[in-house]
Amino acid sequence: MEIDAWLWWLIGAAALGIALVVTAMPELAMLAVGAIAAAVVTGVFGGGAVAQVVVFAVISTAGIAVVRPIANRHRAQRPQFASGVDALKGRQAVVLERVDASGGRIKLAGEVWSARALDTDRAYEAGQEVDVVDIEGATAIIM
């Protein structure tokens, strides 16, 4: 029993789909779409081997050329809404107890936090407004 060419293309598309799930490489999805297009050309239109390969190459290349820039643009974007400790970085706080390199207390976003000065030679007195540079565990790093 001989397997038709269109079925081989569908088997190839399925294999590429499995590889896509395992590796999360969007390019494999475009190759799978190209393989499905080649299967259609073979099964529906009866295209020869050259037509199958040309359709596969053109559809796959076009898909990659369109999808890759979109994926790169989305990957480079920062999330619009920061949450958790990321939302606290860059905010202002008020010193409640003297803060130096050893520690102290600040009021940040309505909560009392332990804090440490970024500059080890600097100290901040109660009532001063400071900027939160980073959060390390449960300690705000200020300047």
Q: Is the pLDDT of residue 86 over 90?
A: no
Handedness of CA 58, 59, 62, 65 (dihedral sign): negative
Between the CA atoms of 111, 112, 114 and 118, what dihedral angle is there, to the nearest 10 degrees? 70
Beta-carbon contacts of 109 under 8 Å, excluding residues fewer than 6 positions away, are 88, 91, 93
**What is the arithmetic mean of pLDDT over 65-93?**
83
Helix or strand or coil: residue 104? strand
Which residue shows structure tokens 């606290």? 88
Select 86-142's CATH number: 2.102.10.10, 3.40.50.300, 2.40.50.140, 3.40.50.720: 2.40.50.140
Mean pLDDT of the chain: 91
Is 41 within 8 Å of 47 (Cβ atoms)? yes
Regarding beta strands 92-100 and 103-108, do their DSSP bridges make them parallel or antiparallel, or are they unpaired? antiparallel
User: What tens digit of pLDDT does each residue of 51-63 get?
Assistant: 999 999 999 999 9
Task: Say what the pLDDT of residue 24 is.
Answer: 86
pTM for the model stands at 0.53
Q: Which two tokens stand for residue 121?
A: 């030679």
User: What tens digit of pLDDT does each residue of 109-141 get?
Assistant: 899 999 999 998 999 999 999 999 999 988 999
- DSSP for residue 10: H
